[in-house]
Structure 1
């Protein structure tokens, strides 16, 4: 991999990057603060630097972040100046690296550090070209409307609350003499999508769910609903006969027999299943067993919740080589109930979850954790921010339904039915 092919995630690592945050109460514009930061990086007087205007419109840069939006945290601008890659994030966070070029835009979008009968759609990004003379706000509206199916008028109204479209339009406009500004990107979350606008005339859209599927993450499943609704949701999430998977199941509230009996049957696929049976004093112990036909291995964990935590982390870590050798293998972890962890006095729920979630993200796997509480409950409120997405379940007159809460793009889907995939 050459320096021009690094991903944004690799470039903006601590060993490559210097970070600058705005001073509380400062009245300096973002352009001034950026010039001062670059002066520090280059060890020179910022007044001697070539104008920032030559690479990006500093007035538009400042205005892009002036909106009072609760979802500005996913907005960022990336561009090159003095052979350094610069990333600006709300609220006023500046990151500068010594990498010479901004990476080219491809399927792995340079974004912040994630239905059609399936919880995740295609992981492919959708790209649209625009001309320097086009109204960029209008082009973004058309692109999002086309991808999401939302009426353009609705998209226009919502986008105006999300980002300053006039500033977006001016940010990479050519200089007065016609010199183009092409070395930059703006990305932001909108209506469940990450929208990336490049200075060289491309708008790229990718759903937050698709990014979550590809990059891995952890999802909390909640609802004050019967257990059979959670069973149906598990089948919906984990039943994918087209993928090769290694599933790790942690049982804290059910025995393996009860779990397999109560769960909605999943279609057989080329997958392996490991079940870790956390056994409390009132539950009987059993020797590890396996079922060659179903490729299921059951291992009892008779110690503490910390023992279960360590076992899960070690098992997830062991899949790292498997993923490296076979990119088509998906790692999924399913925790049947977090209720015993909440009730435990031996370990804090956050201390239990954080290392497990980190391990799953490390192998680009997906973790699902169920909690039989209403989303508005204190128990859910205390842990919701740990997860990359939340699925809320409810029972309606037409059967069980779900909706997805996607925090990075500040988007909540409509309620839709839990339907077994075919």
Structure 2
């Protein structure tokens, strides 16, 4: 496990950070920035050192040219007058009294070769570039090299994510050759977080790799047969090299059915707990089974709130492994959210949010299945709770999946579910 690190975004969430929103007819982004800095420093903006010395103002004005339909838009961070500044679309400005922009770290803005494995490397990849390089080309090459595909095979246009000309000009040296080195611009592209630094580095990291390292929660959805969900579970949870605590929440099947299902052989050191939510339609007698070695079965016969409490408690017990930096991976699998959706007295987002928070707290991975079409009613309510969505379908080629990654705004092509046995 990797210990939590101080990140760049931490300084923009501190009590010393001031936020400025754009208003109508208040000039260009660079003008708004100068006025905001004047307010923070309590001086006339006209006597500030030229913004041009730190960043190209015209490029800054042009860097945010995309419409609001993109889920992740660029952000620019740099230092000016010993203050750290963050600019987001549509002109949201954050200014702190931190004197320097920290180094790039693990929380910064990156797909993997999805069909090979659900998660790729958690490591960031860094490339050097020269001021004379075409940064757009460098970014595309860096990402395609990481994925292992030809540059002609990318599914997105870089121009749909960031203005390539503005990207080139943002941190170009001054006319006299003085470098601008104290800032960076980041954006999503092909499922990667891409960070271009003024100091001549392009850093990329997959959103999935970051999800694996930091922990998160994934909704698995589709109007498909149950065996397709079982195949996807096998695909997601198979990792023979890890020592895991697997927590299964059963809302629609018995432990017997789960244990009889063909699954990959678990390493002997793995611990498995089954939280069996015994709804009225499924009798306690039908749910009980003889526990296998390293398998604990916890029956829950109360309400959905009791189930929620039990899951949070079981996940939280694994926190000591994270705190002690022990090599154990926590994985939660909820066999179906359908009973939660159908419970009129339960707000599904309120049911899920504390569970998802607990999973992230131990840097685990949670998978939650919902046997409905992604365009159905509940999606609007619950998809925002999760860190990613996997959509399933059955086509002429057989069971397929595609991943929807909200932070980079990337959706993969459909690809086969490779069941691991």
Relative to the length of structure 2, the TM-score reads 0.91
Q: Determine if contact 1:289/1:297 at 8 Å carries over to the other structure.
A: no
- Give the Cα separation in 2 of the matches to 1:155 and 1:368: 28
- Give the Cα separation in 1 of the matches to 2:6 and 2:346: 40
Q: Does the C-alpha gap of structure 1 residues 88 and 347 become closer, same or farther in structure 2, counting only changes over 3 Å?
A: same
Query: Aligned residue for 2:227?
Result: 228
Query: Aligned residue for 1:110?
Result: 108
The 5 Å alignment of 1:63-82 reads 63-68=62-67, 70-71=69-70, 73-82=72-81
1:20 aligns to 2:32 (yes or no): no
Query: Aligned residue for 2:146?
Result: 147
Query: Aligned residue for 1:267?
Result: 265
Q: RMSD value over aligned CA atoms?
A: 2.4
Aligned residue for 1:73, secondary structure, equals coil
Greater CA deviation, 181-190 or 157-166?
157-166
Q: Does the C-alpha gap of structure 1 residues 165 and 197 become closer, same or farther in structure 2, counting only changes over 3 Å?
A: same
User: Unaligned regions of 5+ residues in structure 1, if any?
Assistant: none
Query: Aligned residue for 2:48?
Result: 49
Query: Aligned residue for 1:385?
Result: 384
Q: Determine if contact 2:255/2:289 at 8 Å carries over to the other structure.
A: no
How far did residue 147 of structure 1 move? 2.5
Q: 1:210-236: per-residue Cα shift (whole Å, max 9, x none)?
A: 111112211110111111111111111
- Give the Cα separation in 2 of the matches to 1:157 and 1:225: 28
- Give the Cα separation in 2 of the matches to 1:142 and 1:118: 22
Query: Aligned residue for 1:324?
Result: 323
User: Unaligned regions of 5+ residues in structure 2, if any?
Assistant: none
How far did residue 109 of structure 1 move? 4.4
Q: Does the C-alpha gap of structure 1 residues 308 and 330 become closer, same or farther in structure 2, counting only changes over 3 Å?
A: same
Greater CA deviation, 189-198 or 377-386?
377-386
Q: Determine if contact 1:72/1:162 at 8 Å carries over to the other structure.
A: no
How far did residue 141 of structure 1 move? 2.3
The 5 Å alignment of 1:13-412 reads 13-23=13-23, 25-68=24-67, 70-71=69-70, 73-106=72-105, 108-111=106-109, 115=114, 117-153=116-152, 158-262=157-261, 264-269=262-267, 270-285=269-284, 291=291, 293=293, 295-412=294-411
Q: Does the C-alpha gap of structure 1 residues 88 and 363 become closer, same or farther in structure 2, counting only changes over 3 Å?
A: farther
Relative to the length of structure 1, the TM-score reads 0.91
- Give the Cα separation in 1 of the matches to 2:20 and 2:89: 12
Q: 1:250-292: per-residue Cα shift (whole Å, max 9, x none)?
A: 1111121122223x31221232122111111233337998846
Aligned residue for 2:157, secondary structure, equals helix
Q: 1:46-96: per-residue Cα shift (whole Å, max 9, x none)?
A: 222111111111111110002336226342111111222211111222222
Q: 1:117-147: per-residue Cα shift (whole Å, max 9, x none)?
A: 3200111222111011212222222222322
Q: Determine if contact 1:289/1:299 at 8 Å carries over to the other structure.
A: no
- Give the Cα separation in 2 of the matches to 1:26 and 1:300: 62
How far did residue 201 of structure 1 move? 0.6
Greater CA deviation, 233-242 or 349-358?
349-358
How far did residue 398 of structure 1 move? 3.7
Q: 1:136-169: per-residue Cα shift (whole Å, max 9, x none)?
A: 2222222223223454356597112221011111
- Give the Cα separation in 1 of the matches to 2:81 and 2:154: 37
Greater CA deviation, 359-368 or 9-18?
9-18
- Give the Cα separation in 2 of the matches to 1:169 and 1:244: 45
Q: 1:280-331: per-residue Cα shift (whole Å, max 9, x none)?
A: 12333379988462x1111111111111112222222232221121253222
